[in-house]
Structure 1
Amino acid sequence: MLHDIHALPGTTFSSIKDKEGYDPDKHSAMTKGEFEDWLMTLICKIYHARRHSALGMSPLRKWEIGIFGNAESKGVGMPARPADHHSVLLDFLPIFDRLVRPTGVAIDRLTYYAEALRPWINAEDADARGKKRKMTFRRDPRDISVLWFRDPVIKSYFKIPVANQAIPCMSIWEHRAARAKLREAGYAQPNDSQLIAALDELHAKEEASKATTKSKRRAAQNRKEHGKAHA
């Protein structure tokens, strides 16, 4: 599958030799969202359907045998579909264990707060006398403007937004890029206003890049159609 991905225009090579003189941004042909759609198609319709060397069959066929069985083995049967699809997604997100303080929860220099956290502020750890209890949070790296907190008593997830609502939706990669930009500008510990300004600048550049990509595509399509007309 990596071979398929690295065959795309704009791939980032791991080899220094391959990287030399190659600008991924200049050669990229898809936006991030378009790449995600492409990757989903590759995994679901191609990778799972073609023969896997280690399995001796396609991953899809291996799954079918595991579920329904064959002449040599008994399948485990089709599992029940989860009632709450959103909870399934949350269960696979990265985990963070943090203390809940009066101001909320801090992750990557961002503070999050919601009323659902109030009962757990400075909660005691029942298994370690004298210690505070850390709560478990989950966060989608594609949008770190919110956390998801599963209350250990209620057994339900609660949405915990970033405390400063002026901070826009952003991915972890955008957040890192904005902070790196601020560090380069001499801001060792930037405040929220500086972070927001850096994010706005990055978003403006991203939109300009998308417009350039679309222009390149239109030009390429025009060249293609022009070539057909003169064929």
Structure 2
Amino acid sequence: MDTIYRLPIQRPWLTLAIDVASRIVVGFYLSLKAPSSASVALAIHHAVMPKAEWLLARGIQLDWPVSGLPDIIHVDTAREFRARALARGAAEYGISLVHRLVATPHYGGHIERLIGTMMGAVHMLPGTTFSSISERGDYDPERHAVMTIEELERWLTLEIVGRYHNEVHSSLQMPPNAAWREALDRCRAPFRHPHDEQQFLYDFLPFEERSIRRDGVHIFGLRYWDDVLSPWAGRLDRQLRVKYDPRDLSCVFVEGPDGAHWPIRYADLRRPRITLGEHRLAQAALRQRGVRLTDEQLIFDTVEAQRELLETSASITKSARRQVARRARSLNAADQGAVAEVVTPGPKEEPETLSVLAVEEWS
């Protein structure tokens, strides 16, 4: 449900990560958009970083003692797991990416079982769409839906940390929490952690390579400038990586020749914050009007007009409420320093409630 009108908008996507040895959940990410390289980055960030502050921010007084850089991450062959940013970030931290072979589902048994466990719990919530139309019968999910995505995120955390981690796992004959502690006792080498949390985020963000022009950095048809670019502007003989947060395009991060990252904001600081999804919607609208060459002002004018239209119609149509909810969640998450989810237009969808999750598979 959306947070303003408490009306159904859609079902979210859940990205789960599990430690194969102990079956403990090391992290997850809940999104209103289908999996992308950015959602993978945020799930990895959640898995690697200590979770005490994250739990405190959600009012959860439970222990989730899992953090540290993994040596290996097993993933399937989906496009988001083959992104340049993921490969480069993993290499930067000595993480091996192992892609599951096509048509070999038995290699993903551990995560598949966890998905089944989580979905079994989710299907007990009001508003579930169940696993199939036949199983759902004449049950009306929209009529019974009660949770916003923030409420569902908190519920999932309690389900994982408060219940799943403390129940005996049939394969291990002990709870995942106990298996994790036992594994720590056997581990001689200390866990690796990133030296800089912000740098870790940067290393997994999606990026484009751009030349530093005399008037700044150009990406997505927008211009960015900061005085820190002056020594490089028009003088470098190579392009630099420009990393971006798809939830908030008001600032990009230029990776300098020495590897340091520099936040670079709009050249015109009066411009409003927009998401990558809003930018793409604006470009699509302009193309439909036959506008091929667009300037920056035209893009922002179109975004603003679309925002006003969405706000006006949000109380009437589900698709409009969905876009408003995605934008609000994106910009709020960017304020908290989170990696972004991509908000992109897609084909028209059948009405869905928030309580059932589509799950991305990796371990």
TM tier relative to shorter chain = 0.5 to 0.7
Structure 1 letter corresponding to 2:240? M
Q: Please state how far the C-alpha of 1:209 moved relative to its aligned partner.
A: 4.7
Aligned to 2:283: 179
Contact in 2 for aligned 1:122/1:133 (Cα 8 Å): no
| Alpha-carbon separation, structure 1, partners of 2:189 and 2:157 | 22
Structure 2 letter corresponding to 1:168? P
Q: Please state how far the C-alpha of 1:144 moved relative to its aligned partner.
A: 1.0
Alignment map for 1:79-90 (pairs within 5 Å): 79-80=192-193, 82=195, 84-90=196-202
Contact in 1 for aligned 2:254/2:263 (Cα 8 Å): yes
Q: Please state how far the C-alpha of 1:88 moved relative to its aligned partner.
A: 3.0
The 3-state SS of whatever aligns with 2:244 is strand
Q: Please state how far the C-alpha of 1:170 moved relative to its aligned partner.
A: 0.6
Aligned-residue CA RMSD (Å) = 4.1
Alignment map for 1:25-174 (pairs within 5 Å): 35=149, 37-38=150-151, 40-41=153-154, 44-46=157-159, 50=164, 64=181, 68-69=184-185, 73-74=186-187, 76-80=189-193, 82=195, 84-124=196-236, 132-153=237-258, 155-174=259-278
Contact in 2 for aligned 1:105/1:111 (Cα 8 Å): yes
Structure 1 letter corresponding to 2:257? P
* Structure 2 residue ranges without an equivalent (≥5): 1-13, 15-114, 130-144, 322-363
TM-score (norm 1): 0.59
Contact in 2 for aligned 1:167/1:192 (Cα 8 Å): no
| Alpha-carbon separation, structure 1, partners of 2:202 and 2:218 | 19
More off after superposition, 136-145 vs 158-167: 158-167
Q: Please state how far the C-alpha of 1:45 moved relative to its aligned partner.
A: 4.1
Name which one, 1 or 2, has greater alpha-carbon Rg: 1
The answer to which structure, 1 or 2, has the higher relative contact order (CA under 8 A, 6+ apart) is 2
CA deviation map 1:8-53 (0-9, x unaligned): 9799xxxxxxxxxxxxxxxx987xxx53x356436644457648x9
How much identity, in percent, do the aligned residues show?
Answer: 24
* Structure 1 residue ranges without an equivalent (≥5): 12-27, 125-131, 217-231
Contact in 2 for aligned 1:175/1:199 (Cα 8 Å): yes
Structure 2 letter corresponding to 1:196? F
The 3-state SS of whatever aligns with 1:120 is coil
CA deviation map 1:77-113 (0-9, x unaligned): 344574x433333232112221111122221222222
Q: Which is helix-richer, 1 or 2?
A: 1
Q: Kindly report structure 1 stretches of 4+ aligned residues shifted beyond 6 Å.
A: 7-11, 55-62
